[in-house]
Amino acid sequence: MEKPSVALKKITSYRVIYGDTDQMGIVYYANYLRWFEKGRAEFLRQIGLPYSTIEQQGFHFPVVEVSCRYLESARYDDLVQIESEMCECRRASLTFKYAIWRDSDRSTIATGMTKHACTDLTGRILRIPKILLEALEKATV
Amino acid sequence: MEKPSVALKKITSYRVIYGDTDQMGIVYYANYLRWFEKGRAEFLRQIGLPYSTIEQQGFHFPVVEVSCRYLESARYDDLVQIESEMCECRRASLTFKYAIWRDSDRSTIATGMTKHACTDLTGRILRIPKILLEALEKATV
Amino acid sequence: MEKPSVALKKITSYRVIYGDTDQMGIVYYANYLRWFEKGRAEFLRQIGLPYSTIEQQGFHFPVVEVSCRYLESARYDDLVQIESEMCECRRASLTFKYAIWRDSDRSTIATGMTKHACTDLTGRILRIPKILLEALEKATV
Amino acid sequence: MEKPSVALKKITSYRVIYGDTDQMGIVYYANYLRWFEKGRAEFLRQIGLPYSTIEQQGFHFPVVEVSCRYLESARYDDLVQIESEMCECRRASLTFKYAIWRDSDRSTIATGMTKHACTDLTGRILRIPKILLEALEKATV
């Protein structure tokens, strides 16, 4: 499977705390990567395969590349929605796309992507596990 | 000035703490963006214009885009070197490039870039301040 | 009011992400203070007075003291419950107590407290605002 | 050894980045615990026994208790000094005390302590390792 034929998107939400902001009064740019992680974790949970299960099976998906565009600013106490989509799933890597919205006005705050390798617990490259392919297939039906 | 004719690179170092790592035993991917920030802050300090001075003059350089490639893993207690280069300086934006090395074996751990807008303290787009252009010129001579 | 006559406790929950853990495989100790913040923010929201409203009225509650006891470890993907109680409210300070439980087995992971000054936005000590006292009174009835 | 007869204090420094601050314009309170960790790591390195070596020998010192008093605020770009002292070393636990100063005016910003258990890598309580006792003894001579 190169690309899921049907886009598979899952959504989760997060409330901004003080600890996420910086002195510019907005969320510090590195914290969006925490939200990406939360987004893909909830994506996997929602298709029935929590990342903790993937790890128990001996697989890791370390991030090999990330990018993010900051369109607007998230602020203290904002409720943000994190939309995650697995947009590519190759032999030994997979890619997620993200969109972050402010819940109050539905405006897109940021978009981004992460590319992941598939490895065993020692870092050796592995094929994407079958349990993931099966969970994706079931979820896209 | 579109691009400094002479590449202007500055280096600073950081020692990895426990709080930077995650349960995979490596530095959590979002923390590299903290290092990019440290890198560009030290770049500006080393050309004689600390970012705090830029802010006092009424300017902000919010990040509008970031990307990072993770080539190897930084681990607990590693001393990493952060090399920062201002690779583009346009009318109202500027771009930094980064390379992170492990000090012990000089291997490159990650590379990345950040693109910044130039704004006033309320977020309105401004031209890059003259004090920055002058500091860059002095530093490249 | 020295101490609310009826203990007023509010609960919120949080799912542990990778970015919260460290290489010991457990949540990094500083991150519990983020949970305390989330706990007291939700406490204030649940009594009808979000902290953002308190700030808009010109008040800050900076932390002047914190303590935490770590009884067990929170781990990746744990759902934790954060219980917050305003246990003291003096002329110009207030104190929260916290208990963190693992949701799966209801075991207490950590307990702690934060003491806060009440100041204006420049840091000058102020009396606790009436809107807070009124919200507390309404909530304890 | 209950208490080192001579107070053994070690100092390290840290430059505040944007990512450490919050929208109050000061360092977020949880980040002081990162500084405590940096302080005790450098303490151990300076007595010749880096924490990474302790771990390689099969020991962990998980934090079982922390407290911090915030006296003044650290701000963006402040250089802070972190003074760490091992103030107690019992059979199976040890305690560090910390003082954080602003370098520019030598004012104390925060004081605190952490208490640590001594365990093996699975969390079982162990006696403090001899290599630590010996390193402390050598350092206090």
B21-48 pLDDT, tens digit per residue, is 999 999 999 999 999 999 999 999 999 9
D13-32 pLDDT, tens digit per residue, is 999 999 999 999 999 999 99
A64-101 pLDDT, tens digit per residue, is 999 999 999 999 999 999 999 999 999 999 999 999 99
Q: What is the mean pLDDT of residues B125-138?
A: 96
| Alpha-carbon distance B128 to nearest alpha carbon in chain D (angstroms) | 20
Q: What is the mean pLDDT of residues C114-133?
A: 96
Q: What is the pLDDT of residue A141?
A: 75
Q: What is the mean pLDDT of residues D78-89?
A: 96
Query: Residue A37 — pLDDT band, cuts 50, 70, 90?
Result: very high
Task: Give the three-state DSSP class for C130.
Answer: helix
| Alpha-carbon distance C72 to nearest alpha carbon in chain D (angstroms) | 9
Q: What is the mean pLDDT of residues C5-21?
A: 90
Q: How far is CA D100 from the centre of its chain?
A: 11
Neighbours of chain A (3+ CB pairs under 8 A): B, C, D
Neighbours of chain D (3+ CB pairs under 8 A): A, B, C
Q: How far is CA B32 from the centre of its chain?
A: 10
Q: Which two tokens stand for residue A36?
A: 């990406």
* 8 Å CB contact of C34 and A17: yes
D57 by Cβ neighbours in 10 Å (0-12 / 13-18 / 19+) ranks as exposed
A74 by Cβ neighbours in 10 Å (0-12 / 13-18 / 19+) ranks as buried
A107-117 pLDDT, tens digit per residue, is 999 999 999 99
Residues of B with CB under 8 A from a CB of C: 18-19, 21-26, 28, 30, 75-76
* 8 Å CB contact of A19 and C34: yes
Neighbours of chain B (3+ CB pairs under 8 A): A, C, D
Q: Domains in chain A, ordered, with CATH?
A: 9-140 (3.10.129.10)
Residues of D involved in catalysis = 22
Query: Residue C89 — pLDDT band, cuts 50, 70, 90?
Result: very high
Query: Chain B partners of A64 at a C-beta cutoff of 8 Å?
Result: 69-70
Residue B83: is its pLDDT beyond 90?
yes
Query: Residue A6 — pLDDT band, cuts 50, 70, 90?
Result: low
Report the distance separating Cα B93 and Cα B47, nearest Å.
18
C67 closest CB neighbour out of D24, D60, D67: D67
> What is the phi/psi pair of residue A13, to 5°?
-125, 160
* 8 Å CB contact of D23 and A28: no
- Rg of chain C over Cα atoms, rounded to whole angstroms, equals 16
A108 Cβ neighbours under 8 A, 6+ residues apart: A71, A72, A99, A100, A101
The four Cα atoms D82, C111, C28, A30 give a dihedral, to 10 degrees, of -90
Q: What is the pLDDT of residue C1?
A: 46
- Rg of chain D over Cα atoms, rounded to whole angstroms, equals 16
DSSP symbols for C51-80: HHHHHHTT-B--EEEEEEEE-S---TT-EE
Residue C140: is its pLDDT beyond 90?
no
Query: Residue A137 — pLDDT band, cuts 50, 70, 90?
Result: very high
C52 closest CB neighbour out of A38, A41, A77: A77
Q: Are C55 and C91 in contact (CB under 8 A)?
A: no
Nearest to C100 by CA among C21, C30, C39: C39
Provide, rounded to the nearest whole percent, the portion of chain C with pLDDT above 70: 96
Instruction: Output DSSP code: residue B127.
Output: P
Report the distance separating Cα B16 and Cα B100, nearest Å.
12
Q: Which two tokens stand for residue A20?
A: 């996420």
Instruction: Give the position of tokens 């190759």.
Output: A90
Residue B1: is its pLDDT beyond 50?
no
- Mean pLDDT estimate for chain D: 94
The residue of chain D nearest to residue C52, with distances taken between CA atoms, is D23
* 8 Å CB contact of B29 and A29: no
D50-65 pLDDT, tens digit per residue, is 999 999 999 999 999 9
What strands lie across the sheet with B93-102, from one edge to the other? A9-15, A79-89, A93-102, A108-117, A63-70, B63-70, B108-117, B93-102, B79-89, B9-15
Instruction: Output DSSP code: residue B20.
Output: G
Residue B137: is its pLDDT beyond 80?
yes
Q: What is the pLDDT of residue D7?
A: 73
Helices (H) and strands (E) in chain A, counts: 3, 5
Query: Chain A partners of D23 at a C-beta cutoff of 8 Å?
Result: 18, 21-26, 75-76
Report the distance separating Cα A32 and Cα A40, nearest Å.
13
A18 closest CB neighbour out of D23, D75, D76: D23
Q: What is the pLDDT of residue B6?
A: 55
* 8 Å CB contact of C66 and D26: no
Report the distance separating Cα D39 and Cα B95, nearest Å.
34
Number of C-beta neighbours around residue D107 at 10 A: 11
A38 Cβ neighbours under 8 A, 6+ residues apart: A12, A14, A82, C15, C17
Q: Are D23 and A21 in contact (CB under 8 A)?
A: yes
Buried b (16+ CB within 10 A) or exposed e, B110-139: bbbbbbbbbbeeeeeeeebbeebeebbeeb
* 8 Å CB contact of A62 and B68: no
Higher pLDDT, D8 or B45: B45
* 8 Å CB contact of A22 and D24: no
C27-57 pLDDT, tens digit per residue, is 999 999 999 999 999 999 999 999 999 999 9
Q: What is the pLDDT of residue A1?
A: 46
Report the distance separating Cα C26 and Cα C38, nearest Å.
19
- Rg of chain B over Cα atoms, rounded to whole angstroms, equals 16
* 8 Å CB contact of D29 and C66: yes
Provide, rounded to the nearest whole percent, the portion of chain D with pLDDT above 70: 96
Which H helix or E strand runs over B54? Answer: helix B51-56
Q: What is the mean pLDDT of residues B9-21?
A: 98
| Alpha-carbon distance D129 to nearest alpha carbon in chain C (angstroms) | 19
Residues of A involved in catalysis = 22
Query: Residue D125 — pLDDT band, cuts 50, 70, 90?
Result: very high
